[in-house]
């Protein structure tokens, strides 16, 4: 496991070195699952873009995003990952700019706000 900030982040996500290594191994053994989850993530982003903005609809999309994140990262702590994603998206960094280019201007801000609302931040 990597030392420093990255190691602390991985510990937050996975809980232990063993769980992290197990998740990596499982991911390597099943690349088709990862590919399917990445496709689902794209679909979720497009659904955020096309949403009417109704609170129930948005929160349902965050639930789907949470489930997808849990499966993609093979962790029970999707909350930690998604709050980091929201922080990045709302900071309007390079990741947000790239994703807005792919899915529509403002979609990352919508996702970031929805994640924070879902978790009560």
pTM of the shown model: 0.79
- From residue 29, alpha-carbon distances to 17, 25, 35 in Å are 18, 6, 12
Q: What is the pLDDT along the chain (121 residues), one digit of tens a residue?
A: 445 665 677 767 766 677 676 766 777 676 788 889 999 999 999 999 999 888 899 999 999 999 999 998 888 889 999 999 999 999 988 888 899 999 999 999 999 999 999 999 8
Per the domain annotation, does 10 fall within a domain?
no
Report CA dihedral (80, 83, 78, 38) to the nearest 10 degrees.
-130
Number of domains making up the chain: 1
Is residue 113 in a domain?
yes
What's 104's DSSP letter?
-
Residue 100 inside a domain? The answer is: yes
Whether residue 69 is contained in a domain is answered as: yes
Residue 1 is assigned to a structural domain of this protein: no
Query: Which residues, 6+ apart, have CB-to-CB distance to 37 below 8 Å?
Result: 68, 71, 72
**In-domain check, residue 17:** no
The enclosing H or E element of 22 equals helix 17-29
Instruction: Enumerate residues 6+ apart whose C-beta is below 8 A from 34.
Output: 27, 72
The CA-CA-CA angle for residues 34, 38, 40, to 5°, reads 115
- Flag whether 57 is in a domain: yes
Is residue 64 one of the residues assigned to a domain? yes
- Identify the domain containing residue 37 by its residue range: 31-118
């Amino acid at each position: 496991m990597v030392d420093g900030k990255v190691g602390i982040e991985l510990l937050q996500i996975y809980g232990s070195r063993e769980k992290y290594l197990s998740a990596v191994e499982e991911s390597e053994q099943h690349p088709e699952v990862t590919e399917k989850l990445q496709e689902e993530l794209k679909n979720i982003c497009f659904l955020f873009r096309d949403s009417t903005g109704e609170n129930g609809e948005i929160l349902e999309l965050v639930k789907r995003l949470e489930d997808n994140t849990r499966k993609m990262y093979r962790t029970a702590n999707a909350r930690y990952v998604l709050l980091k994603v929201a922080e990045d998206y709302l900071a309007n960094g390079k990741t947000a700019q790239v994703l807005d280019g792919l899915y529509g201007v403002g979609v990352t801000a919508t996702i970031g706000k929805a994640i924070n609302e879902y978790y009560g931040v």
